[in-house]
Amino acid sequence: MPRAQSLNDTQLMQLTNRIHFRNLRGDIFGGVTAAVIALPMALAFGVASGAGASAGLWGAVLVGFFAALFGGTPTLISEPTGPMTVVMTAVIAHLTAADPENGMAMAFTVVMMAGVIQIILGSLRLGKYVTLMPYTVISGFMSGIGIILIILQLGPFLGQASPKEGVLGTVQNLPQLFANINFGEAGLGILTLLILFLMPSKLKRFVPPQLVALVVGTILALILFPEADAIRRIGAIDAGWPSLQVPTFTADQFQTMLIDALVLGMLGCIDALLTSVVADSLTRTQHNSNKELIGQGLGNLVSGLFGGIAGAGATMGTVVNIQAGGRTAVSGLTRAFILLVVVLGAANLTAVIPMAVLAGIALKVGINIIDWDFLKRAHQVSWKGSLIMYGVIILTVFVDLIVAVGVGVFVANILTIERLSKLQAQDVKTITDADDQILMSDTEKELLDRANGRVLLFHLSGPMIFGVSKAISRQQVAMEDHDVLIVDLNDVPHLGITSSLAIENTVKEAYDKGRQVFIVGAQGQTAKRLKNLGVLNMLPPNNVLMSRLEALEQAVALVNPQVVELNTTASSYL
């Protein structure tokens, strides 16, 4: 019986997020602390997205609970984040404009679809590939999202509704926004920023500045603006369980919804896994990226089903959780339970919270998302990298998130391939006499010298990616005045298709000119690739060798039979 019980416990830990209760006190304290921070953030992101404060709270509860229960990072805190809110805002704005009656339901359907996409990526074990993109692209993308979040909060921060046209509309209407400032609300927003920026570090250890700003701003608003309609407030939030959202879509909008879901799902994957790396560094553990994506996907799927906005791993909440003692998923579950109690039992208390205070909190998040450290140093590291980063920022803010990432990754990879190809091209060498370009034995050098330039050794080294094919072709043009060609592949661990075709052309051209060709050292993937292309079948079996010395002996015997005896004698000493 004990053995069976132990087996069930092991299976339970494998199914869930390695849950155990050996750190219960630290996990509960970490969860309570994370919940205190999550409350104002969830309210701010829910309002900022356009779905409402309750959608932000339910997103924090549901994404946080299921991601903690089934994820792969025990200390990760998941909830609506700045980047996810930016995308969610665009999704809601577009779909409600296209279909006012069903737009919000379709937006929640997009959240469900994004969750399904994340589950699929995790099930296919693609987690390790999600964050494989250049840092310049990630930095530009995140900075662009931060700028978007700042721009979208300018209207509420100044006491006005955000322009319906989004980022471009806000930028175009900046003169009107500043000309019609509601100084009462703007004052509350400025007070919020002052608290967030200037609160002493000693006090931050005991209470998060976001909560202080929320409470102080709300109390001050009640004192200065007692009339209900004097300033814009959140309003009452429906207490009780949310109603089920039936998946809704139309044929006209399905393609747009699918693209939105892909953006939301991929951004959530990146956001969560980058935060998981931060958690690993703080706890000296290793997360399970594929399992984490499944947990994130389940969280977003359930959140969308019950009218919550999308979420992902939150760096701030995760770090605070760890610093407060959280070490297992019990901390994330505790946090979700506390927020659930708030939603069900204290929802009416949020009705008097000023919108400007939430705008100030969200605006500060946008400022924090911008990668200021790399922005200041990017041009010193690489001017090409800095151009990529600034280009991604501009495309993210003013064009489209997918376009920004796609163009950024494409350009960055092209530049990387170009650099690697130039470096690898240096290892493509042709020699006709002994020198120091290639490491050779004394016997090999002597044989090559005795060939009197009639034997050409074509030496390749390192992985031959497609960019190296140009170097192979250039060396092929330089191959003149020789009778025997030796293609040395001893130091080639990988041979790309394009480089394989370039070698094939080299061999064919040598044969067309009546030259003998030897291929040396082709093994593993290299030999398989050349065999599949038919290159090895073009040669006599005796011309496909593993030893460069043996190939040199045969080649020299063909062009200078007088040294055959010398070669044989030299080989006997090896």
* Residue pair 338/68 in contact by the 8 Å Cβ criterion: no
Cα–Cα distance for residue pair 178/180, rounded to 1 Å: 5
Strand-pair partners of 456: 485
The torsion angle over the Cα atoms of residues 199, 201, 203 and 208, rounded to 10 degrees, is 70
Positive or negative: CA dihedral 293, 297, 303, 308: positive
Cα–Cα distance for residue pair 62/82, rounded to 1 Å: 17
Confidence band, pLDDT 50/70/90 cuts, at residue 573? very low
Contacts of 446 (CB under 8 A, 6+ apart): 434, 570
Q: In terms of DSSP H, where are the helices of 158-250?
A: 166-172, 174-179, 183-198, 201-204, 209-224
* Residue pair 112/305 in contact by the 8 Å Cβ criterion: yes
Both structure tokens of 277:
């790396």
- What phi and psi values does residue 60 have, to the nearest 5 degrees? -65, -40
Contacts of 540 (CB under 8 A, 6+ apart): none
Both structure tokens of 352:
């008097």
* Residue pair 231/159 in contact by the 8 Å Cβ criterion: yes
Cα–Cα distance for residue pair 389/367, rounded to 1 Å: 17
Tell me the per-residue pLDDT of 400-450, one tens digit each, with 9 for 90 and over.
777 887 888 888 878 877 776 676 666 666 776 656 567 778 888 888 888
From residue 441, alpha-carbon distances to 301, 337, 448, 449, 487 in Å are 65, 72, 11, 12, 17
Place of tokens 């530049």: 415
More confident residue, 449 or 566: 449
More confident residue, 473 or 226: 226
pLDDT at 572 over 50: no
- What phi and psi values does residue 454 have, to the nearest 5 degrees? -85, -15
Strand-pair partners of 312: 79
Mean pLDDT along residues 361-382: 87
Looking at residue 1, what is its pLDDT? 43
In 283-415, DSSP assigns E strands to 312-313
* Residue pair 339/42 in contact by the 8 Å Cβ criterion: yes
Which among 97, 104, 109, 103 has a CA at the least distance from the CA of 52?
104
Mean pLDDT along residues 25-45: 89
Confidence band, pLDDT 50/70/90 cuts, at residue 220? very high
Residue 571 amino acid letter:
S
* Residue pair 25/62 in contact by the 8 Å Cβ criterion: no
User: CB-hemisphere CA count at 13 Å for 209?
Assistant: 20
Mean pLDDT along residues 374-381: 84
Cα–Cα distance for residue pair 68/70, rounded to 1 Å: 6
pLDDT at 67 over 90: yes
Which among 473, 63, 455 has a CA at the least distance from the CA of 271?
63
Strand-pair partners of 460: 428
Identify the structural domains of the chain with CATH numbers, from first to last.
Answer: 23-371 (no CATH), 427-572 (3.30.750.24)
From residue 236, alpha-carbon distances to 53, 226, 344 in Å are 9, 16, 13
Tell me the per-residue pLDDT of 162-219, one tens digit each, with 9 for 90 and over.
776 678 888 888 899 888 898 999 999 999 999 999 999 888 878 888 889 999 999 9
Both structure tokens of 326:
């959280």
Tell me the per-residue pLDDT of 464-523, one tens digit each, with 9 for 90 and over.
776 676 767 666 665 667 888 888 888 888 888 888 888 888 888 888 888 888 999 888
Tell me the per-residue pLDDT of 131-155, one tens digit each, with 9 for 90 and over.
777 888 888 888 998 899 899 889 8
Cα–Cα distance for residue pair 147/390, rounded to 1 Å: 12
Strand-pair partners of 428: 460
Cβ neighbours, 10 Å, residue 204: 12
Q: In terms of DSSP H, where are the helices of 207-250?
A: 209-224
Cα–Cα distance for residue pair 59/54, rounded to 1 Å: 8
Contacts of 147 (CB under 8 A, 6+ apart): 366, 370, 393, 396, 397
Cα–Cα distance for residue pair 5/419, rounded to 1 Å: 57
Both structure tokens of 140:
């530009």
CA angle 424, 429, 431 (to 5 degrees): 170
More confident residue, 2 or 110: 110
CA angle 255, 112, 77 (to 5 degrees): 130
Confidence band, pLDDT 50/70/90 cuts, at residue 7? very low
Mean pLDDT along residues 1-21: 58
Confidence band, pLDDT 50/70/90 cuts, at residue 116? very high
Q: If you compute the radius of gyration of the chain from its CA atoms, what whole number of angstroms results?
A: 32
The full length of the chain comes to 574
The torsion angle over the Cα atoms of residues 249, 250, 251 and 252, rounded to 10 degrees, is -120
* Residue pair 443/449 in contact by the 8 Å Cβ criterion: no
Percentage of the chain lying above the pLDDT 70 cut = 89
Both structure tokens of 108:
């929640």
Q: Please give the model's pTM, rounded to 2 decimal places.
A: 0.77
